[in-house]
Amino acid sequence: NAGVTQTPKFQVLKTGQSMTLQCAQDMNHEYMSWYRQDPGMGLRLIHYSVGAGITDQGEVPNGYNVSRSTTEDFPLRLLSAAPSQTSVYFCASRKQGAGTDTQYFGPGTRLTVL
Amino acid sequence: GQQLNQSPQSMFIQEGEDVSMNCTSSSIFNTWLWYKQDPGEGPVLLIALYKAGELTSNGRLTAQFGITRKDSFLNISASIPSDVGIYFCAGQRGGSNYKLTFGKGTLLTVNP
């Protein structure tokens, strides 16, 4: 198993550009989520999904869109990037109904918006 | 939203020393988790706690779920240089959404 994979690892955008951060898992996990990590702020939940076709907002959803067309993939879209979205983004997945100790994080995408 | 207060923010210790860090909340959590993050990597789960009062060990790491369900601590005994990293606590209230609330992290530096 590759676990949770994220691409790209690094990205630089200009204000107003759009892009999609990719996340995939091969563990057949129902639950997937996106976090952003900023210095001194810990990890904050952006969006999450409890299964294909179902998504919901987390703590800081503004400026981000998600969709879940398959169990494996959970892309995060920035429609019009802003400097405030400069951050490290982590995707995570877990098995629905299992103990929380099954949650795995990806290696992260480091995004800079100029 | 819910807040987790994690302390200390950073620690500088000598190799071999013991370390203690904790998280407190104004809300009750059903699950407490402790993660470690190495530079350039995603967080990795260290210990999960599911019952109030539970004390769980993982090698040199020991964590406890507070009786009030509003706090948890993590101890690291006999620290070694590879313990360097950021340690996060996280709480989950339960229910069907499995959302986690994270503390802001404790940066641990171990001097050899």
Q: Which residues of B touch A107 (CB under 8 A)?
A: 40-42
Count of alpha carbons within 13 angstroms of residue B65, beta-carbon side: 20
Percent of chain B at pLDDT > 90 equals 79
For chain A, helix (H) and strand (E) counts, in that order, are: 0, 11
Contact call for B102 and A94, based on CB within 8 A = no
Q: What is the pLDDT of residues B2-26, one digit of tens each?
A: 578 999 999 999 999 999 999 999 9
Q: What is the pLDDT of residues A21-34, one digit of tens each?
A: 999 999 999 999 99
> What tokens does B19 get?
């370390």
Residues 6+ positions from B91 with CB-CB distance below 8 Å = B2, B4, B23, B25, B27, B29, B31, B32, B33, B72, B100, B101
Phi, psi (deg, nearest 5) at residue A29: -80, 135
Among A35-49, B14-28, B94-108, which range has the highest average pLDDT? B14-28
Burial of B106: CB neighbours in 10 Å, binned 0-12, 13-18, 19+: buried
A54 touches chain B (CB under 8 A): no
B94 touches chain A (CB under 8 A): no
